[in-house]
Each structure stands twice: as structure tokens, then as C-alpha cells.
Amino acid sequence: MNEKIAIIGAGLVGSLQAIYLAKRGYDVEVYERRPDLRKAELLAGKSINLALSDRGWKALDGVGIGDEIREMAIPMNGRMMHDKDGNLTYQAYGKEGQAIYSVSRGGLNQRLMNIAEPYENIDYFFDLKCKDVNLKSNEITFQHTQTKEKTTKKFDRIFGTDGAFSAVRTRLQKTNRFNYSQFYLEHGYKELTIPANEDGSHKIDKNCLHIWPRGEFMLIALANLDGSFTCTLFFPFEGKVSFESIKTDSDVIDFFSEYFPDVMDLMPNLTEDYFENPTSSLVTVRCAPWHYSDKVVLMGDASHAIVPFYGQGMNSGFEDCTVFNQLMEKHGNNWDEIFKEFSRDRIKDGNAIADLALRNFIEMRDLTADPMFLLQKKIERKISDKHPDKWTPLYSQVTFSHEPYSEALANGERQDSIMKQVMDRHDIFDVWDSDEIENEILRLL
């Protein structure tokens, strides 16, 4: 009899992993606690769009579905920084032709389900919440979210792709020597919208990720296919200028007029959106190991939930699918080896991207408005253009390469210490483009 595999969570990673496993001939059942996203109106006020980049594309191309997803993606070639006076500064993300891509999270999830469901050996079950996993018998107890009826089913393998608050992980937390930590930022986020022009066109450049960096907080905007932009305000929960301090329509107007004046005209529904859309928190989850014997494994946010500031949460989850598939290639049906090696080797990369994402918050909200930072990026770009074999900017290592995140982090730290020495020169603004600076960097390398 064929192995029976349960995937808990029909999110982005669960649906992609189902396709990977089905292609290898396994019988896959995907269980989702929510109703079918394709039928229900679940997306109101939660129209998150995500930046999809090379690691994600590789995983999608790995099962031949990249092109179908490209149809729904908008390339963003660089960041557009908006200062308080409405002045714009553009910074390319990578080399000519390199881009990250804006995709709707809900739209992508639906598309993945539509691709997965026709497989004869994939079955989706909705409204069924995983309540517990019996690690001895490998049985899962589900509860129907409407009828509250409980059922139990046995599987050969269980994949926990049930997101940052994973029920599967919660079960593993009760096993011996399981490490777990969660860390909440003092900032939360709220989605706002820039609607399309009447003719359906975008109000601002759709091929940029727009950032309004303001030190302690920031606003970003990513384009949607329908001409609108989903904006996200990352803002402290508490304090003088915070979610807590904004209570009325006029507080919202005053705040936006002071800090984001150029956005005011673009958001006719600002106050409604502000009060109707939820304020959500941002958590980093780390745990180890990511498996339990050869029975249960965690992937995606369930094992490494990260803050969104490097645009790598989904990309890293998709890369889990690539890495896992390579291990299946290597070890065949030896699940014990696959799970062990996945857990042992991949955790350091999960931790590295968690660290990088936390650091990038400071870079995005603060440094993108800093002339020293912009100069540093300019120097790095010059060195990388002239000596691509010697210097790849950290952002490119993370976003446009498949180098393990842990190695990108280590390289980035080495490069940063070199750049600190160079940027410490009092005359750096005058000499940044000189041979002297270039040679100094090459010497320090």
C-alpha cells in the first residue's frame, strides 16, 4: 500500500509541498482549518501582497509551475524612498534585469491550490482543525470548525505547515529536549490601500517597492494587478506616536499629514481603512529539532516564522521544499535520514534569515533615509559591478542567490566590518569614487 501523508495547513508552503510529494507518487491529504479560500470571502482587510524572489521562484520552477505564477506577479526593480517633503530617491535592488515580484498572498495561495487539487493523489479537506497529534500512534485528531465534531486519522508521515502558531509544533514542544522561543516586536502592522485610478492604472510607479522611512516607523506599498497598492504601516503598539496614541479620524489625518503628506491624496479611504483593518503583531519563532523521529516534520512558518522586513518568509518556506526535495533525491524512501538531515542542516539557515529580517527592519525604516547609508550602498554597488567575483552585496546574496542564508549572513558581517572602516573616513563623501577607496576595500577583503 502507498504511504499516506498528511499535510497540516493548506497555506503557501503546505500547498507547494503537497505538489512536490504528489509528483513523487505519495498519497497526500491536505488539512486546512479555514474554509476553502477559493470560495469564501476571507481576504477582506487582509490583502497582503508579498515579494517573491529567486529562492521562491526556484522552488516553484522545481515543480514546473513558475510560469503560471509569473502571470500574476509584478516586477519591482528597486526601492523608491519617499522623504517627508515628497522627494523621491530610487535605488535598484540588484543588477540590470534583477527584480523582486509583488504577488497577492491570497491569489497565490488560491493558484497553488488550483494547481494541486487536480492531482489524483492530492485531496484537500477544509474546516478541519488539527487539535492534536499522537506521536506514538501517528494519529491526528481533527475538529470540524463548524459542527465541532472530532475525528481521528492515522498517517505514515505528518508535515506541519500550519504557520507561526502551529498546532503540530505545539505537540512537539511537549517532547523531551525540544527548544522553542518566540519573540514579538514592539511594532505591529496595519494594511491600508491606495486604490487604482479610474482607468485602472496605478497612481504611483508599480515597478518599485515604495518606502516612506520615518525612523521609528515606516510605510511601504506594493502594487497589485488591479491597479491598487497594498500599503503596510509598521508602527509601535505603544508610545507617544503609536497605534495606541491614534484614536480618532482627526488623529489619523494629523499623523499622516505630518509624516506622509504625499500619501494623503492617494488614499481617499484612509480613515475608514485605518479603523476597519486589524492591527496585527509580528513574531519571530525559532525551534529545534524540526522533526520527530521519521514521523513528523515542520516546514515554513511552523518552524521558522520571521518578521517580513527582508521579504523572505514565504521564500524561505518555499526553499524548505527545494531542500527537502533534494534530500528525497539523495535518500530515497529513507525518511529517517531525510528528516534528520533536513532538521540538522536547515535550522541554521532558518535562524540566519530570522536574524537578517530583524536587522533589515532598522535598515528599512531608518537607514534608507540616511545619506551615509545611501553612500555606502553606492560604494558597494561600484565594487560589486567592477569585481563581481569578489563582492556581492548582502541584499543580493539573500534575494538573488541560492547561497545558504547562514553563509550570506556570515559574508554580510565580514563585508560590513570592511565598510565600517571605509565609511569612518572623514573625507569619504569626497573620495568615495576614487581608486584609493577601491584598493582599500580590495586590500581589506
Q: Which stretch binds ligand FAD (CB under 6 A): 47-55, 59-67, 244-252, 395-403?
A: 47-55
- C-alpha triplet 389, 372, 445: angle, nearest 5°: 30
Q: How crowded is residue 90: how many other Cβ atoms within 10 Å of its Cβ?
A: 11
- Quote the CA–CA distance of 367 and 71 in Å, as a whole number: 34
Q: How far apart are the first and last CA of the chain?
A: 57
| 317 binds ligand FAD, rule: CB under 6 A | yes
| 295 binds ligand FAD, rule: CB under 6 A | no
Among 24, 34, 153, 359, the residue binding ligand FAD under the rule CB under 6 A is: 34
Helix (H) or strand (E) holding 282: strand 280-288
Residue 27: CB minimum distance to ligand FAD, A? 19
Residue 32: CB minimum distance to ligand FAD, A? 5
Cα 308 to Cα 58, 217, 329: the distances in Å are 20, 14, 31
**DSSP structure class, residue 331:** H
Q: Of 289 and 350, which CB lies nearer to ligand FAD in the complex structure?
A: 350
Report whether the peptide linkage leading into residue 289 is cis, meaning its omega lies within 30 degrees of zero.
yes
| 50 binds ligand FAD, rule: CB under 6 A | yes
Per DSSP, helices labelled H in 268-334 are 270-276, 301-304, 313-331
| 232 binds ligand FAD, rule: CB under 6 A | yes
- Quote the CA–CA distance of 11 and 15 in Å, as a whole number: 6
| 124 binds ligand FAD, rule: CB under 6 A | no
| 21 binds ligand FAD, rule: CB under 6 A | no
Among 5, 6, 7, 12, the residue binding ligand FAD under the rule CB under 6 A is: 12
| 130 binds ligand FAD, rule: CB under 6 A | yes
| 22 binds ligand FAD, rule: CB under 6 A | no
- Quote the CA–CA distance of 80 and 115 in Å, as a whole number: 34
Report yes or no: 401 and 98 within 8 Å, Cβ to Cβ: no
- Quote the CA–CA distance of 436 and 428 in Å, as a whole number: 11
Q: Of 144 and 382, which CB lies nearer to ligand FAD in the complex structure?
A: 144
- Quote the CA–CA distance of 142 and 151 in Å, as a whole number: 5
Residue 17: CB minimum distance to ligand FAD, A? 9
| 277 binds ligand FAD, rule: CB under 6 A | no
Q: Which stretch binds ligand FAD (CB under 6 A): 11-19, 176-184, 332-340, 433-441?
A: 11-19
| 160 binds ligand FAD, rule: CB under 6 A | no
CA 336 to chain centre: 29
| 167 binds ligand FAD, rule: CB under 6 A | yes
Q: Of 140 and 246, which CB lies nearer to ligand FAD in the complex structure?
A: 140
Among 300, 350, 404, 412, the residue binding ligand FAD under the rule CB under 6 A is: 300
Among 124, 189, 274, 324, the residue binding ligand FAD under the rule CB under 6 A is: 189
Q: Of 283 and 442, which CB lies nearer to ligand FAD in the complex structure?
A: 283
Any bridge partners for residue 115, and if so which?
none
Report yes or no: 2 and 98 within 8 Å, Cβ to Cβ: no
Among 104, 193, 284, 315, the residue binding ligand FAD under the rule CB under 6 A is: 315
Among 5, 6, 7, 9, the residue binding ligand FAD under the rule CB under 6 A is: 9
Residue 76: CB minimum distance to ligand FAD, A? 10
Q: How crowded is residue 344: how many other Cβ atoms within 10 Å of its Cβ?
A: 13
The per-type count for the chain, helices as H runs and strands as E runs, is: 16, 19
Residue 112 has phi, psi (to 5 degrees) of: -65, -40
Nearest to 236 by CA among 365, 51, 390: 365
Residue 157: CB minimum distance to ligand FAD, A? 16
Q: Of 161 and 322, which CB lies nearer to ligand FAD in the complex structure?
A: 161
List of residues contacting ligand FAD (CB under 6 A):
8-14, 31-34, 48, 50-51, 105, 129-130, 161-163, 167, 189, 232, 300-302, 308, 311-315, 317
